[in-house]
Amino acid sequence: MTELATMDFHPRPQSGDAKPWAFPAPERGTLDNGLTVLRCHRPGQQVVAVEVLLDAPLDAEPAGLDGVATIMARAFSEGTDKHSAEEFAAELERAGATLDAHADHPGVRLSLEVPASRLAKGLNLIADALRAPAFADSEVERLVNNRLDEIPHELANPSRRAAKELSKELFPSDARMSRPRQGTEETVAAIDSAAVRGFYEKHVRPATATAVVVGDLTGIDLDALLGDTLGAWTGSSAEPRPVPPVTADDTGRVVIVDRPGAVQTQLLIGRVGPDRHDRVWPAQVLGTYCLGGTLTSRLDRVLREEKGYTYGVRAFGQVLRSAPDGTGAAMLAISGSVDTPNTGPALEDLWTVLRTLAAGGLTDAERDVAVQNLVGVAPLKYETAAAVASTLADQVEQHLPDDYQATLYRQLAATGTVEATAAAVNAFPVDRLVTVLVGDAAQIKAPVEALCIGEVSVVAAE
Amino acid sequence: MPMGHTATAQAGSGGLTATEHRLANGLRVVLSEDHLTPVAAVCLWYDVGSRHEVKGRTGLAHLFEHLMFQGSAQVKGNGHFELVQGAGGSLNGTTSFERTNYFETMPAHELELALWLEADRMGSLLAALDDESMENQRDVVKNERRQRYDNVPYGTAFEKLTALAYPEGHPYHHTPIGSMADLDAATLEDARAFFRTYYAPNNAVLSVVGDIDPEQTLAWVEKYFGSIPGHDGKPAPRDGSLPETIGEQLREVVEEEVPARALMAAYRLPHDGTRACDAADLALTVLGGGESSRLYNRLVRRDRTAVAAGFGLLRLAGAPSLGWLDVKTSGDVEVPVIETAIDEELARFAEEGPTAEEMERAQAQLEREWLDRLGTVAGRADELCRYAVLFGDPQLALTAVQRVLEITAEEVQEVAKARLRPDNRAVLVYEPTAPEAPADQDENEEAAR
C-alpha cells in the first residue's frame, strides 16, 4: 500500500565541478633541545590542537608495573614546579584549554586544545608538565587508587571486556600486548611516585619527542612561543631502543565471556595483520570498508538492514605498533553486538558473508563507492585542527613520512577491485579468526558450537 | 520568493553571518557562507521530538527517524546512505525530546544532491514506506536500545531520572528511545500518521552552511522543496510547563548489578534561551564542570570518596532544563558520605557565589566549547537550526557565546541559591548486587552437595 505524493519531481542532480583539496603538508623542524616540531596553519580554526608524542611505549614498562605509563601520563597534569595539582587544573581551565594524556603501545601522547588567543598560556602549561612534573607522592597515590576504582567499571562494559579477552587470546602471555594497556589491579597497586619518576627519567626527553601544532596561527610568532615553552625543556640525547616483534596466535576459536542474563552478545572477532608500512594497506582499507565500514557495507546490509539482529557491526584495521623497518602490526577486527537469541544466526550470517566474499569477490560498483567515500570525505574529516593534528601525530608515531596521508588518498584511488578483494579476504580468513563473545553462555554456547567456527570455551566475566 | 536578510556580522559573532529566507510553503531556510574549506553542510530540523509522542507510543519519533533512511519516491532502499557516501559525504539523523534532525556534510560540489535527497523524503516518504522496513527498523531500534541502555551498567539511569524529574503524563516524562513494549506496539499506520502530521515544510528549518553560492543554493532549495505542500495539521504540543522548583526531594534506590555505588541527581533549572539558563550553565561548570571544579576538588582530590564527579546541563526550551549530577563512589564509600559533602558544597556556593577566578575559568571553558561547536560547518548548521526552531531566530546562534560571557557572578549565585537545593532534585542511588550466578556454577554446586 503506497501513497501518491503531490510534489514536483526532478531528476537526480549531477555533481558540480570538484574543488581541489589536499591533505595539509606540515612544516617540520627541530628545536635546539632536539624536540621535533611539525606545524600546520589552518585558517579559521580558532581552537589550536597540540599533540606531544613521547617515546615511552608500554613494552618499556618494568616487569610487574603494567600501568606505570598510564599513571605517568595522568600525573603530568597533577602539578609542576610552579603549580600544585589543583592550581594546574585551574590554570588550564582558565586558558579555556583541555589536556588529555594517555599511554598506548607506541608511546605516551598528550593532547592539548586551546583557543588561539591563549596558545601561549597553554604551551606554557604543557611545557611545565613535561619539563618539571611534580609527581607528588600523594597525587600519585590518588591516581593509583582512582585507576583501581576504574577497573571494575571497565570489566562491566561489554566492549571493553571483549577487547581485554581478545588481547589475552591473541598474544603470547609474556608479550605486553596480551595484557591490559592500563594495567591490572595487581600491577597498578604496585605503582608509586618513585616508579613513575623512574619511568619518566628513563623514557621522557625532548630529543625523542615530537610536538605537532595545528590551527589558525595568524599573527602568532610560533618560533618565539615554542622557544620560551617547549624549547626550555632539557634532557639527555636519544638512546636507540629495540622494538620487539609482534606475534599472535590466530588459530580459529571462540571464547565466551559469561555474563548470565545479558540481553545482547558483544562480538569481537579479530586477528593481527600488516600495518601501514605494508604495500597492501590501501587495498586492505578499501576491502575492509566494503566488508564493514558503514551500514551499506556487506555485513550491515545483512545483519542490520535485512535481519535486524544488530544496531550495527563494523570491520576495521587499527595499527597496534609500527617500527621503522616495517615489522609492525595492526589489529584487524569485526565488532558489534547482537541480541542474545539471535547470536547463533547472526554469527552464521557473518561467516556466510565472509565466505561469499572469498568465493565471489567484491563488485566494481562496491569498490567505486568505497573509493569515492574514503577519498571524498577527506575535506570533511579534516576540517578541524584536532583531526589534522591527530593524523600527523599518528604518522610520526608509526614512523611514516609526513606526506603519508596525502599519498594514501592517491593510492586508494588507484586500487582496483581485485586487489581490494584479495586484501579483504586475506585480512579476514574464515578459519583464522579469534572470536570473543561477551554474553550469556547458557543461551549462546550450544548455537555457537553448532556453527563449527572453532573450539568454544567459556570463561567467567571476572 | 524568499525574503533576504542582510548578511552583516553582529558583535560577538566571530565574523560569522547568516541570512534567512522563507519559501511560500512555509519552509524556513538559513544560509551561511564560509569558503575556507570546500565543504557544505545541510541540516534539517523538524519541530517534532519525543515530547510530541502519546501514551503507548513512546519511541515513535526516533523509530520514525530510522524510517526516513529507508527510501522515498525516487530513492530506493538504502539509497539515501549510498548516494551521500558515494559522493564523499557523511550523514545521520538524531532524535531528542524537542526535535528530530537530519544532516549531510558534503564536498561543496555535491551540495545539490543532498538537497534533492532531503526534499524527496520530505515530500514522498510514504511512497516507499512499507511493512518490511517497519519490521526491520523496529528490530534495529530495539537492538539500539539494548546496546546503549539495557546492556551497559547504569545504562537506564537517564531514563529513570527523567521519569522522576518530570511527572507522569508530562511530555518529557519519557526519553526518546521509548520502551520495548511501545516499540513493539507501533504500527505502520502510526508511522504514516506521524509523517502526515509532523513532516511538513512549514514544520521544519533547513540550514546550509559552508562553501556555497547563496543565490544558487536558494534556487536549488526552491526547485526541490518549493512544491511540497505545507499544512496546518500539527496539533499544539502538550503543555510542558511546571513550577520553577520541584518542592520536595524525590528519590529512587536501584539495586542492580553495577560495578560501584553511584549517586545521581537531576535538578530542575530554568528554560533554555533565558539568561538564567546561561547562569545555571556557569554554576554547574564551576561546581562540576572539570578537574578544577568544586565537586571534583572536594570528592575526588581531597576526600577521595569518588572516582568521578561532575555536573552536566541538559538545555530544554519546552520544559525546565535539567542539571545532571553524576558521582561514582570510590571503594566501599557509602552514598550518604557523598551526599553530605555535595550538600555542603552546594550550600557554600549558594552562600558565597563564584569567585572572580571561577567565573573566568567557567566562561573560558564554555567559550571553547562554543568555538568547537561553531568550528565545523556541520556544527554551525545545527546551531542555526536550533535557534531558528526553538527560539525563532537563527542569528542568536552566532551571539550565544557573547551572552554567556555577559553573565555576572551575582546571576550565577542567584540561580544556584534558587535551584541547586535538596528540595529541587530527583535523586537516583545505585546499590550494587552480587552478579547472577553462572548456570554451570550452579550445576557444580548441586553436584558438590
What are the boundaries of each domain within chain A? 27-232, 253-460
- In this predicted structure, the answer to whether residue B446 has a pLDDT above a threshold of 50 is no
What pLDDT sits at residue A350? 98
What pLDDT sits at residue B14? 66
What pLDDT sits at residue B10? 59
What pLDDT sits at residue B3? 40
Instruction: Tell me the pLDDT of chain B averaged across its residues.
Output: 93
For chain A, percent of residues with pLDDT exceeding 70: 99
User: Which of B140, B142, B213 to probe the A interface (max A CBs under 10 A)?
Assistant: B140
- In this predicted structure, the answer to whether residue A27 has a pLDDT above a threshold of 60 is yes
Average pLDDT over residues A20-37: 96
Better-scored residue on pLDDT, B434 or B318: B318
Q: Which of A95, A152, A384 sits opposite B376 (nearest CB)?
A: A384
Residue B232's pLDDT band, with cuts at 50, 70 and 90, is confident
What pLDDT sits at residue B236? 84
Within 8 A of B437 by CB-CB distance, chain A residues are: 260
Residue B13's pLDDT band, with cuts at 50, 70 and 90, is low
Average pLDDT over residues B330-344: 97
Chain B nearest-CA distance from A264, in A, is 7
What pLDDT sits at residue A373? 96
- In this predicted structure, the answer to whether residue B166 has a pLDDT above a threshold of 70 is yes
Average pLDDT over residues B384-401: 97
Average pLDDT over residues A322-344: 96
Which segment of A146-155, A377-386, B233-242 scores lowest on mean pLDDT?
B233-242
Give the span between the Cα atoms of B239 and B242, in whole angstroms. 9
Asked if B229's CB is within 8 angstroms of A7's CB, the reply is yes
Within 8 A of B126 by CB-CB distance, chain A residues are: 2-3, 5
Average pLDDT over residues A322-326: 91
> How confident is the model over A411-439, as pLDDT tens digits?
999 999 999 999 999 999 999 999 999 99
Residue A1's pLDDT band, with cuts at 50, 70 and 90, is very low
Asked if A12's CB is within 8 angstroms of B377's CB, the reply is no
Average pLDDT over residues B263-289: 98
Q: Which residue of B has its CA nearest to A146?
A: B307
Give the span between the Cα atoms of B335 and B346, in whole angstroms. 16
∠B33-B38-B42 over CA atoms, to 5°?
60
Average pLDDT over residues B239-254: 96
Average pLDDT over residues A113-129: 97
Report DSSP state, residue B243.
Answer: -
Q: What are the structural domains, with CATH classification, of chain B? A: 19-226 (3.30.830.10), 249-432 (3.30.830.10)
Q: Thinking of the domain A253-460, which architecture would CATH place it in? A: 2-Layer Sandwich (3.30)
What pLDDT sits at residue B243? 97
What pLDDT sits at residue A412? 98
Average pLDDT over residues A36-47: 96
Residue A394's pLDDT band, with cuts at 50, 70 and 90, is very high
Which amino acid does the sequence have at A423?
Answer: A
Asked if A118's CB is within 8 angstroms of B143's CB, the reply is no
Which segment of A67-76, B172-181, B223-232, B440-449 scores lowest on mean pLDDT?
B440-449
What pLDDT sits at residue B440? 45
Asked if B89's CB is within 8 angstroms of A156's CB, the reply is no
Give the span between the Cα atoms of A311 and A336, in whole angstroms. 8
Q: Which residue of A has its CA nearest to B148?
A: A311
Chain B nearest-CA distance from A26, in A, is 17
Chain A nearest-CA distance from B344, in A, is 20
What pLDDT sits at residue B329? 97
What's the pTM value of the predicted model, to 2 decimals?
A: 0.95
Asked if B330's CB is within 8 angstroms of A384's CB, the reply is no
Residue B167's pLDDT band, with cuts at 50, 70 and 90, is very high
Closest CA to A400 of A309, A461, A328, A306: A328
User: Which of B146, B189, B196, B436 to probe the A interface (max A CBs under 10 A)?
Assistant: B146
What pLDDT sits at residue B7? 53
Within 8 A of B357 by CB-CB distance, chain A residues are: 90, 94
Instruction: Tell me the pLDDT of chain A averaged across its residues.
Output: 96
Residue A243's pLDDT band, with cuts at 50, 70 and 90, is confident
Residue B443's pLDDT band, with cuts at 50, 70 and 90, is very low
- Asked if CATH classification 3.40.50.300 holds for the domain at A27-232, the reply, yes or no, is no
Chain A nearest-CA distance from B326, in A, is 14
Asked if A260's CB is within 8 angstroms of B436's CB, the reply is yes
For chain B, percent of residues with pLDDT exceeding 70: 94
Chain A nearest-CA distance from B251, in A, is 24
What pLDDT sits at residue B8? 57
- In this predicted structure, the answer to whether residue B11 has a pLDDT above a threshold of 70 is no
Q: Which residue of B has its CA nearest to A118?
A: B364
Q: Which residue of A has its CA nearest to B200?
A: A7
Average pLDDT over residues B281-292: 96
